[in-house]
Chains A and B, each alone.
Chain A
């Protein structure tokens, strides 16, 4: 489904970024990074809205020829970015939403782990929950084929 999943810290540095191994990793890094322009703009636009009324899902950030980039921002300003292949027209907005929600839940689990230090990069090597997060992302990416 997704070809790239990224978690970005409040300060806009990457906490976690995974892309399909078959393709140029750097390209996705750039794509996620540039999408933060739109995320920033959307966040600042909704800054005035009340917290509980705020929609966390930011929707389609920007389309490129080959990919669609979606965004999601938590209340603590941690951003999730997901890149989906443009040709994958089967993927509806609702499904993207639910994928983000799943991602958010997994991220919350990571945050709840007492061995995780908020702001650290999420690495599957060290934290057992980091591995769980990784597995969840893998599951989201595998459904493609």
Chain B
């Protein structure tokens, strides 16, 4: 966009830098000069001093300096600030002119050169007559200079040169053209910068000195001007603190000026400029709050200074510019590191700028609505001789006139007319949209999604006004969902109304239909008459006719649109539009509900589709189809009503597909599930409802799943929360809110009509072949086929159980590890009605504990559903928990031959092993046999035959056996000596013959064997007679391999008389048995 009247001048917006001109450089033909110039311009980063350089010829004519005024007494200023002033000091009048001259100290023709140099300086000075501009000379030298003081000629000649050029020593520089050019240049420019600062300092002093001549009555404008100049020079001097201070003073002075309709624009313009400078400097000083405060003050000051009512759009334009410029400054500051917040960011300023731009548009619309016959005035009152204004903010047709009275009202009128006519050509929408989109970008950054949406709505509306309907629609469509999802129906309706207009004007069929559908719906806050109109239009469109234009549309645009719609009709073929409703709120609602969460496969699946229309008039739909995850069912769930297009609104109360507003319509569907789908979920994937027919135009509303649109989830929640009692309705009607969508159902197998019985005798005994009798009886009316049995350990239990449980059908042989824990699909044939069959199962449990067993019977049966023959697979299962216990407890003990308990046995001495089998089974057990398997270290004394063969043990009874064993000496064995195993073969007493016996192996305990040196064995008769002798025989056995000395003494009791040796001493030889006899005669009895 080219700069408009309202844009700030470039020289105001740039950062003022000291202006230094370089003369005597031939940058085109002289490589050395070129290099010098490049070093000045290249890489001007922030660390270099702020100077703007310009190369000019030595004889350049600088702007003439007007003769200094000696008195202000008769001087009346014509305006505040001349339009050329800032540019003059930025780009035309230098602070310093540098004369470059190639001259070495040892130049042979020194004199000539020196005077040439002096001439050049003189020419420059002439041109700058009257100005305080500094002049400096730089000698470009080929040689590197010697350190100061060493080169005598140099200092002499330098002094001479200064003298000739009338320069101070500080203004003469030497630039050796050597390797370190950049370094020298940087030093040079720092020196230039100092000179420039001095220059601007003197300028400030000069302007200040005028002050005392001014008086408050006639020179008010000059106060502002001078203050502004001081501030501007301070900026050039890079003294931003003072610049800010002076701008602030200038700002206050501007508002002290007497304002009148004739000069209000000038005052506002200057106030705007100064305000801009202040805000800019505040941001630069990192005091953003000061900037904001100043801006607020500025706006509050100027908001009401509208000026001429006929040109009030100018005020709006100016306001808009103020906000935009501040927004730009703010944004720039953020880019340089300032942090903004959600509630204080540039977006607000752009937004406000857009708001004023809108106001400008409105004002322009009312003020500039001249007849087409009104011609632009000639001569153009806005033209000036120079093409520009002399002073900022003045009217071109009365420049420099300070009087508040209009000397020439006619001229004024013409001028205003010219401005108004010009304003008429301004494309306001473009500006508004630019500002809005700037604001959108900002609000996006500062987490204001709703503000962003709001601005986008405004952009859309602006595009609509600008007749760019495509863009308008795109924006509106984009934000609609935000308002919809948050349930701001008033706002949504407003947006939709605009969107409907756009789609009408572009004859966008699908959009038009979609927006109509939603505007008729329950989310729309339109009045009924509006809804009626939209519904009528919608029907027209569906009947392949043109709709009536939307209200308040541009007349020309409507004409174009009508033509477009007519074209659409002539193109008509079959137009089918499918519109997904999940993203909006259409005027018809749909809910699908299966009657039950599951259906048996032998009953028809039933579900209802509920429909409710919210539009003002009854409406007839042409077709309803339901789609499922298994598409084969789709064909069963279609309702189609053949009707002519014209009947959409007629014949209303009849027909299934005719919806009366506000009434809930229930449509029942029924179909038979496929037997393959048993165990699967049937899901309604979509419901399609068609409006209109395929001859004209047809809209298919598509609900995903079991219905529901963008608003229904919230409504359902609200309905669920509600505890309001709903009024009673007739039986065939339901409350819409009370319908809960149920979009899926499970197909489950037919209910089995058989009985499964289990007969067994718990608990199971470890390792036995436990018998489980399964009885299956059919109660079906017809024959059942393919009966299969699955039985065994129920899956999903402890994995160890699977290893230790085995199932077989054959009880005659013991099953081993190779048998499975679960037998699957054992075919057992067919069953006639009432017939029953029995199957025996044998389970062997290797460990104790409880187990769950599963018996699962499946079969096939033919049945009819809805006159359709189907084969149903039914199944019935039974589970049973069976405890497994040990059949008996076995206790083993070692006793001596005299049945005395032994802790340990003695080598070579016989002892007894006693086993005791205690039945723990609740059922009688038969011990078929038992066997003792001795370890090699043990030997038997007599025969080891079973003493409990075929013993029947009832619960709690026990059977004992006794074996006489001997253990030869083995030396000292750690932990004792293994004895062997005891094997019991047993079965239930009740078990049949062919059931194998079970052998239970019991590991016998280890026994500690001790070697003893002497073994005494008394041989006593079992009884004696009174007064008869009783022979007593003692065997003494030396178990060692040494001869032992043995002393035997016998101490008889008083009851006996004793004969024989009472005391004897004898050597006992190794491994030898002695017999020692003595006789005793009992005296008394007992």
Contact = CB atoms under 8 A, between A and B. Distances in A.
A114 to B, nearest CB: 9
Contacts of B487: 11-14
Contacts of B723: 117
Interface in A91-145: 115, 117-120
A117 B722 contact: yes
B342 A37 contact: yes
A33 B342 contact: no
Interface string B698-730: 000000000000000010011001111000000
Contacts of A20: none
B718 A119 contact: yes
A62 B348 contact: yes
B255 to A, nearest CB: 20
A11 B724 contact: no
A41 interface: yes
Contacts of B454: 30, 33-34
Contact of B451 (A12, A14, A37): A37
A41 B486 CA distance: 17
A13 B717 CA distance: 14
Contacts of A17: 490
A38 B398 CA distance: 50
A34 B450 contact: yes
A36 interface: yes
A19 B737 CA distance: 31
A37 B447 contact: yes
Contacts of A37: 342, 447-451
B343 interface: yes
A61 interface: yes
Interface in A79-97: none
A61 B448 CA distance: 12
A65 interface: yes
A65 B352 contact: yes
Contact of B490 (A11, A26, A62): A26
A29 B525 CA distance: 13
A26 B454 CA distance: 11
A66 to B, nearest CB: 9
Contact of A61 (B343, B348, B352, B486): B343
B721 to A, nearest CB: 6
A41 B488 contact: no
A37 B488 CA distance: 15
Contacts of B490: 14, 17, 25-26, 29
B355 interface: yes
Interface string A9-31: 00111100100000001100110
B718 A120 contact: yes
A102 B94 CA distance: 68
B162 to A, nearest CB: 63
Contacts of B447: 37, 41
B676 to A, nearest CB: 44
B486 A13 contact: yes
Contacts of A119: 717-718, 721
B494 interface: yes
Main secondary structure of the interface of A (DSSP, over half): mixed
Contacts of B449: 37
Contacts of A65: 299, 352, 355
Nearest to B717: A119
Interface string B440-452: 0000000111110
Interface string A37-71: 11001000000000000000000011011000000
B718 A29 contact: no
B488 A14 contact: yes
A12 B449 CA distance: 13
Contacts of A115: 724
Contacts of A38: 342-343, 448
B488 A117 contact: no
B414 interface: no
B216 to A, nearest CB: 33
Contact of B718 (A33, A41, A117): A117
A25 B488 CA distance: 13
Q: How large is the interface on A (under 10, 10 to 19, 20 to 34, 35 or more residues)?
A: 20 to 34
A10 to B, nearest CB: 11
A65 B355 CA distance: 10
Contacts of A26: 490-491, 494
Contacts of A13: 486-488, 714
A33 B492 CA distance: 12
A127 to B, nearest CB: 11
B526 to A, nearest CB: 13
B451 A118 contact: no
B1079 to A, nearest CB: 108
A25 to B, nearest CB: 7
Interface string B466-506: 00000000000000000100111011001000000000000
Given A65-B352, A117-B724, A119-B721, A34 B486 contact: no
Contacts of B724: 115, 117
Output the residue of B451, B483, B494, B723 with the most chain A CB within 10 A: B451
B228 to A, nearest CB: 28
A58 B874 CA distance: 66
Nearest to A35: B450
A12 B722 contact: no
Contacts of A11: 486-487, 714
A12 B450 CA distance: 11
A17 B722 CA distance: 22
A132 B342 CA distance: 36
Contacts of A34: 448, 450-451, 454
Contact of B491 (A33, A61, A120): A33
A74 to B, nearest CB: 18
A47 B723 CA distance: 32
Contacts of A64: 348, 352
A30 B494 CA distance: 11
B448 A29 contact: no
A117 B721 contact: yes
Contacts of A41: 342, 447
A52 B597 CA distance: 46
Contacts of B343: 38, 61-62
Contacts of A33: 450, 454, 483, 486, 488, 491
B422 to A, nearest CB: 27
Nearest to A115: B724
Residue from A12, A34, A36 whose CB has the most chain B CB atoms within 10 Å: A34
Nearest to B341: A41
A117 to B, nearest CB: 4
Contacts of B491: 26, 29-30, 33
Contacts of A29: 488, 490-491
Contacts of A61: 343
Interface in B68-89: none
A141 to B, nearest CB: 18
Contacts of A36: 450
B103 to A, nearest CB: 65
Contact of A12 (B457, B486, B717): B486
Contacts of A25: 490
A73 to B, nearest CB: 16
A9 to B, nearest CB: 8
Contacts of B299: 65
Nearest to A45: B342
A38 B451 CA distance: 10
A34 B446 CA distance: 13
Contacts of A120: 718, 722
Contacts of B348: 62, 64
Nearest to A114: B723
Given A11-B714, A33-B488, 6 more contacts: A13-B714, A33-B491, A34-B451, A38-B342, A62-B343, A117-B723
12 contacts: A11-B487, A13-B487, A14-B487, A14-B490, A25-B490, A29-B491, A30-B491, A34-B451, A36-B450, A37-B447, A61-B343, A117-B718
The 7 closest A-B pairs by CB, nearest first: A13-B487, A37-B448, A34-B451, A117-B722, A34-B450, A62-B343, A37-B450
